[in-house]
Amino acid sequence: MTSAYIALSYWDVALAAIFLVLNGALSLLLRLQLERQLAISALRMVVQLFLVGLVLKTVFAIASPWLTLLIALVMVGFAGREIRARQERRLRGVWGYGLGAGAMMLAGMIVTTTALTTQIGPDPWWSPRYALPLFGMILGNAMTGISLALDTLTTTVHREKLAIEAQLLLGYRRFDAVAPFTRRALRAGFMPIINSMAATGIVFLPGMMTGQILSGVDPAEAVKYQILVMFLIGGATGLGVLGAVLASVWRLTDNRHRLRLDRLGGPAA
């Protein structure tokens, strides 16, 4: 097996867009009104990826730990914004942004740093060529889990406020009164990564593994890397979901065991 990857021309990339154009044509034909969204999303993706490619090329060449950290924080910032945007009801003030972003950043950095300093071991360990792609994969999956968990928690607590307040009046402690809804939110946050791990290999080949195989890496080696990454993603997602949900429960109640829905905003516009 050759270890050389097959280079793609811009024409090859443009040719793949024919199928997306076909989707747009079908949208017009069936009056789905999705063609504009498809076009804008595709254009944004192309522009963003080209810009990211240029930035990463520069970051890899400079190889500065501080620049690597800055790029990682920018990634966290955008991911935190996505978590907040995906919630129907959000915590008011800085909590609505900082809580999800903070849990995601803490979990992602702990897991990524552990992997870089132990299993992967690049020299230096913070090498942006390894740290940023790995952190990005972990961050993207943790973002999905945390956003689902927080959305489930806040909407359910708001809907079941009478039941929660009734239990609090009967003398239940705040975490006990909210426990069923906490478990529901945790299950919602864990479900995407559980489904992904269950289907990996049989239903689909993950993007990282596919890319390595296409570039000429031995499939057995690609499998080991993919298993490692899936374990890291699962661990970070679990830590992030758990931290974000428990912190939200703490914020939506107080030490006098009252439900504080005044700290929760209305439905997102």
For residue range 212-263, list pLDDT tens digits in order.
887 778 888 888 988 999 999 999 999 999 999 999 999 999 999 899 999 8
Handedness of CA 73, 77, 78, 83 (dihedral sign): positive
pTM (two decimals): 0.85
Angle (CA) 223 241 206, round 5°: 20
* pLDDT exceeds 80 at position 142: yes
* Residue 266 in this model has a pLDDT that exceeds 80: no
pLDDT band at 4 (very low <50, low <70, confident <90, very high): low
User: Quick one: pLDDT at residue 231?
Assistant: 94
In whole numbers, what is the pLDDT of the chain averaged over residues?
Answer: 90
Lowest mean pLDDT among 97-101, 168-172, 264-268: 264-268
Residue of higher predicted confidence among 81 and 201: 81
pLDDT in tens, 170-199: 999 999 999 999 999 999 999 999 998 888
Least confident of 50-64, 72-86, 190-204: 190-204
pLDDT in tens, 119-136: 999 999 999 999 999 999
Please compute the mean of the pLDDT values over residues 140-146 and round it to a whole number: 94
Angle at 232 between CA 155 and CA 62, to 5 degrees: 105
Please report, rounded to a whole number, the percentage of residues in the chain having pLDDT higher than 90: 70
- pLDDT score of 13: 86
3-class DSSP state of 67: helix
Pairing of strands 264-267, 89-91: antiparallel
Residue type, 183: R
Residue 3 has pLDDT above 60, yes or no: no
211 confidence band (pLDDT: 50, 70, 90): confident
- Cβ-proximal residues to 58 (8 Å cutoff; 6+ apart), any chain: none
Mean pLDDT throughout 197-216? 79
Predicted pLDDT of residue 219: 85
- What pLDDT, on the 0 to 100 scale, is given for residue 1? 45
